[in-house]
Amino acid sequence: MIHRPTTKPHGNRKDFENIKRLFPYIWDFKGRVILALTCLILSKIAIVGMPLVLKDIVDGLDSRQMMANAAVALPLVLLLSYGGLRLMASLFNEMRDAIFSRVRYHAMRGISLRVLRHLYSLSLSYHLDRKTGGITRDLERGTNSLSSILNYLVFNIFPTAAEFIFVAIILLSKYEAHFTLITFGTVAIYITFTLLVTNWRMHYRHEMNDHESKANTFAVDGMLNYETVKYFSNEEYELQQYDKTLDKWESAAVKSQASMSLLNFGQGAVIAIGVTLMMIFAAQGVVDGNMTIGDLVLVNAMMLQLFIPLNFLGIIYRALKYSLADMDMMLKLLDTKVEVKDAENASELKVTDAVVRFDDVSFSYNKDRKILDKVSFEIPHANKVAVVGPSGAGKSTLARLLFRFYDIDSGSISIDGQNINAVTQRSLRANIGIVPQDTVLFNCSIDHNIRYAKLDATDEEVQQAAKHANIHDFIVSLPDGYQTVVGERGLKLSGGEKQRIAIARVILKNPRILVFDEATSSLDSHSEQLILESLKEVAEKHTTLVIAHRLSTIIDADNIIVLDKGRVVERGTHQQLLEKDGLYAHLWELQQEEELIEEGGRGE
């Protein structure tokens, strides 16, 4: 059974610190924030004022009061005032939402951009280990959680606190102390119960998030590797892995819903007891003549009006905790340390002769296995140096180190005498172009994929690059020509077609230093010869590093470096290495035999 690792949400979150990290995004529009809070307070004043007017309306309509008071028009004025307050409450609520929307969506945009920028800044090792489906789900949930948290804090928690203060002031100023005590006691019990039960059931939500991310990872991973799944007829295996994870998610979701029902019932019971006690005391006050019917209505309305947002506050608290958990997963991405950083005073790389030098370079992906061991060689100006060797010798690692996707363990890599660790990564990579062994294209047009090397290139420049790569005629033969969409990772194109687009892309970039990492490995012999001629023409004035598997493609190299187990074991021209009768000569002989066998097979 194959097990794929998953990231489990950690429990030692720092929610207050996470919320503080949101403030810079909110404060970009501080004027809007202040105006939205003003609207919030005005709406709450209107809401609290409605029960006060309702009391006077009831007292004004009371038969005994009407007999003693000749001002019969008074209730009409109060009714109009009541309607006006309700209208004001609705108006200020909607104004608050409209004003704050810019703040909320700007914050979502800002944090999303920051996380994605940080992901681009992380080293290649992180992206080789990451699970794309899980990360995209965490990013999506985290961004949505930011919007939710802002809504909960500004539109629910703050307003409820303000309303509670207004209600307390009215009760303390107009009625006996036991009304305030019942209100405070009920609210305290309600909040305590909500916090305790919500914290108890949070782990169910964590399990749901964990299993949902894992299931999403399975689905995305399977779709990205659709062809591999089909090659091995493992559709059922992928579906079983997906379903097993969803089964665990379903179990956690059921427990979460059951515990939520328990919480909702407990909250309802607390509210019912509190309101009942308030009504008993208020009714007794009416019977004793200490309170009017309007006072009874006011106390009841105040209590119910206070517990309407408090009832939602219970839901909001749970949702806030969930949102904080979701946001924590996203902020964990931000907290991932950048392994490869520009030096504090990094300068721009200045390329004159484009001389590349590896000096005693040692490197390992982990401590258990050394990939390169004191590798030294130089690529002089406009020279072509090839690196060959058995699989696992460390050839492709040289290209990754030259691009500074990793920092070396010891030694140095320099361009025109400038250590690449001392220059900015952007300026370094701007001067190097690569045609990788495995070309992955964007799911966009062919034109976009070629133009990606030089976004401001003209159509003529794009087409000229395609002609050099021997792909132009193929492109124009397609119904949509250069606007043909290549599909996910370029799956609609053959390996050779993708490789030629990658070659066209690097030709368009026209860097001072070229790297070909087995660039013709996916091509047939005819296409390979055509492209080798083009590459030879393009590379004439460039410093070129060729990582080769087919030795026939590098016989014209100015120098050939032979790697074995991370060490340089031979070096020289093609002819010199054949005369040494060492590892290179042995590899050459094996490949010649393979080609004879292939030709014999084709002859049959």
Q: Is 140 in the same domain as 180?
A: yes
Q: Is 278 in the same domain as 301?
A: yes
CATH of the domain at 75: 1.20.1560.10
- Show which of 466, 490, 510 is a domain's final residue: 510
Question: Is pLDDT larger for residue 142 or for residue 276?
Answer: 276
Length of the chain: 604
pLDDT at 318 over 80: no
Q: Is 603 in the same domain as 515?
A: yes
Which DSSP symbol is given to 28?
G
- Secondary structure element (H or E) that encloses residue 359, with its range: strand 356-363
Q: pLDDT digits over 51-68, tens only?
A: 888 888 887 776 555 455
Report pLDDT for 4: 37
Tally the domains of the chain.
Answer: 3
Helix (H, G, I), strand (E, B) or coil at 434: strand
Q: Is 311 in the same domain as 391?
A: no
Mean pLDDT value of segment 238-244: 91
**How many Å apart are CA 459 and CA 250, to the nearest integer?**
53
| Domain annotation covers residue 9 | no
Q: pLDDT digits over 485-535, tens only?
A: 988 767 788 877 888 888 899 889 989 899 988 766 656 666 667 667 766
Contacts of 95 (CB under 8 A, 6+ apart): 39
Backbone CA torsion sign across 575, 578, 584, 586: positive
Give the pLDDT band (50/70/90) at residue 293.
Answer: confident
Report pLDDT for 262: 86
| Domain annotation covers residue 560 | yes
Report pLDDT for 111: 83
- Give 3-state DSSP helix, strand, coil % of the chain, rounded to 5: 65, 10, 25
Mean pLDDT value of segment 389-409: 89
Give the pLDDT band (50/70/90) at residue 450.
Answer: very high
| Domain annotation covers residue 384 | yes
Q: Is 293 in the same domain as 422?
A: no
- Show which of 451, 477, 510 is a domain's final residue: 510
Q: Is 242 in the same domain as 149?
A: yes
**How many Å apart are CA 145 and CA 133, to the nearest integer?**
18
| Domain annotation covers residue 200 | yes
Q: pLDDT digits over 210-229, tens only?
A: 888 888 888 888 888 888 88
Give the pLDDT band (50/70/90) at residue 17.
Answer: confident
Report pLDDT for 2: 36
- Show which of 335, 361, 391 is a domain's final residue: 335
CB 411 within 8 A of CB 360: yes
Report pLDDT for 6: 38
Contacts of 328 (CB under 8 A, 6+ apart): 9, 10, 13, 15, 18
Range of the domain at 407: 343-431+511-604
CB 44 within 8 A of CB 167: no
Q: Is 109 in the same domain as 241?
A: yes
Q: pLDDT digits over 325-348, tens only?
A: 778 878 877 888 888 888 888 999
Report pLDDT for 439: 79
% of the chain at pLDDT higher than 70:
89
Residue 98 neighbours by CB distance under 10 Å: 12
Q: Could you give the strand order of the β-sheet that contains 513-517, starting from the edge strand earlier in sequence?
A: 432-435, 513-517, 543-547, 384-388, 559-564, 567-572
**Single-letter residue type at 122:** L
Strands (E), 79-200: none
CB 86 within 8 A of CB 15: no
Per mean pLDDT, which range of 10-24, 230-244, 275-289, 427-441 is the poorest? Answer: 10-24
Q: pLDDT digits over 453-462, tens only?
A: 999 999 999 9
**How many Å apart are CA 413 and CA 378, to the nearest integer?**
10
% of the chain at pLDDT higher than 90:
25
First to last CA, the chain: 43
Q: Is 546 in the same domain as 599?
A: yes
Q: Is 194 in the same domain as 262?
A: yes
Structure tokens at 154: 């500004």
Which DSSP symbol is given to 344?
T
| Domain annotation covers residue 3 | no
Report pLDDT for 402: 94
Q: Is 274 in the same domain as 137?
A: yes
Cα 399 vs. chain centroid, distance in angstroms? 28
Q: Is 53 in the same domain as 78?
A: yes
Beta-bridge partner residues of 362:
410
CATH of the domain at 588: 3.40.50.300
pLDDT at 92 over 60: yes
Tokens 């403030």 correspond to 23
| Highest mean pLDDT, choosing among 8-12, 143-147, 283-287, 489-493 | 283-287
Report pLDDT for 1: 32
Q: Is 96 in the same domain as 190?
A: yes
| Domain annotation covers residue 4 | no
pTM: 0.67
pLDDT at 311 over 60: yes
**How many Å apart are CA 245 and CA 240, to the nearest integer?**
8
**How many Å apart are CA 198 and CA 96, to the nearest integer?**
29
Per mean pLDDT, which range of 147-156, 179-188, 359-368 is the poorest? Answer: 147-156
Give the pLDDT band (50/70/90) at residue 600.
Answer: low
Question: Is pLDDT larger for residue 470 or for residue 361?
Answer: 361
pLDDT at 86 over 50: yes
| Domain annotation covers residue 2 | no
| Domain annotation covers residue 64 | yes
